[in-house]
Amino acid sequence: MKRIILVLTIVLTSFFGIGYGQINLLAEFNIDTNNKAFVNETNVKIAIEGVRSEKGKLVIAIFKDQESFEKRKPIKKVVLNKSEIKGNEIAFKLSPGTYGISVLDDENENNVMDYNFFKMPKEGFGFSNYYHKGFSKPHFDTFRFEIIDGTIKIIDIRLRYL
């Protein structure tokens, strides 16, 4: 019984974010066809909220549709060291089209989401303009957005830790 109470306390504490701070992020880059980032003109700005530590990296994955999201095959993937980022925005350029962004707070720098014994994520995650409250993977349509030529798209991503 004590073990169940302890597990529930840990889950609820993590769920409500008790005891976690936030760091600010700023990076600006373009994404080319070789998944390399470089500074230049931008049309997408994302603000990532709720990063709980400066340890590790942020893994930003850009998906084109539900199929690529289900298969975990982003069209672009950028890994940024959190220790080198300042401010609260990450800006980059994308061609016109439909996209969805996921962010992983990869605290142990292994480039994958780690799970606990109960198959719950051990690291933070977030999606473009969508705060995921459920325990199953969201559908692409819940976090997709459109890029129209000549406009700047502002995306909010709030990380969640279980």
pTM above 0.85, yes or no: no
Please tell me the distance from the alpha carbon of residue 49 to that of residue 67, in angstroms, as a whole number. Answer: 27
Which residues on neighbouring strands pair with residue 89, listed in sequence order? 26
Q: What is the pLDDT of residue 70?
A: 95
One-letter amino acid for residue 104 of the chain: L
Position 13 scores a pLDDT of 28
How many Cα neighbours within 13 Å face the side chain of 46?
Answer: 26
Q: Tokens for 110, please give them.
A: 């292994």
Residue-wise pLDDT for 22-70, tens only, equals: 333 444 444 444 444 444 478 999 999 999 888 999 999 999 999 999 9
At 77, the pLDDT band (50, 70, 90 cuts) reads very high
Mean pLDDT over residues 69-83, rounded?
A: 92
CB atoms within 10 A of CB 141: 12
